[in-house]
Amino acid sequence: MSHAHAFFIPVRLRHVLLACACATGALAAQAQAQSAMPAWQGAGSVRYVCGGIGSDESTAMRAAMKDHPLALLFSRADGAYMANVAVAIKGGDANTAAALALRANGPICLIDLPAGRYVIDVTAPGGESKSETVTVGSGSKTASFRF
């Protein structure tokens, strides 16, 4: 037997191996996107993650925005991302008594909280404050704050 035939793989087996390699690559890409996300904070029905610094983390967080009830975006007036923003979220009615206070260490925050109406108060590092009322329910809601 010559060396040319020692590594012969039937066509059908080559297709199976190629399909397995492609599936493994897709799973690895999905795991990498999830690992690019910072760790979640909080517990129970109210939890959050803030980040988006660096292209991998920003891409992963923007892709995940549609999967969470509320996303917050922080930027300067010129569009540059902003971090170190103080955030306070208070329930706006008796059915949504959730309260959350955090410091956004990145320009994107994903927040999981029960459906309802909330008041979001944010304060930029320079002291400028803004407020927005949002109703969270079906789908995802994005609140953008520009300073």
- How is the chain split into domains, by residue range? 9-34, 39-146
Give the pLDDT confidence score for residue 25 in this predicted structure.
Answer: 45
Are residues 103 and 114 in contact, defined by beta-carbon separation less than 8 angstroms? no
Let me know the angle formed at the C-alpha of 89 by 83 and 94, rounded to the nearest 5 degrees: 170
- pLDDT tens for 78-100 read 999 999 999 999 986 555 556 89
Mean pLDDT on 105-115: 95
For residue 104, give both structure tokens: 């956004």
**Higher local confidence (pLDDT), 125 or 2:** 125
The pTM assigned to this predicted structure is: 0.73
Cross-strand pairs, 74: 145
**Cβ-defined contacts of 138-144 (< 8 Å, 24+):** 140/65, 140/66, 140/67, 140/68, 140/69, 140/70, 140/71, 141/69, 141/70, 141/71, 142/65, 142/70, 142/71, 142/72, 142/73, 143/70, 143/71, 143/72, 143/73, 144/72, 144/73, 144/75
CATH topology of domain 39-146: Immunoglobulin-like (2.60.40)
Give the pLDDT confidence score for residue 50 in this predicted structure.
Answer: 97
Are residues 51 and 63 in contact, defined by beta-carbon separation less than 8 angstroms? no
Residue 28 has pLDDT above 60, yes or no: no
Give the pLDDT confidence score for residue 31 in this predicted structure.
Answer: 42
Residue 33 has pLDDT above 80, yes or no: no
Quote the CA–CA distance of 116 and 94 in Å, as a whole number. 9
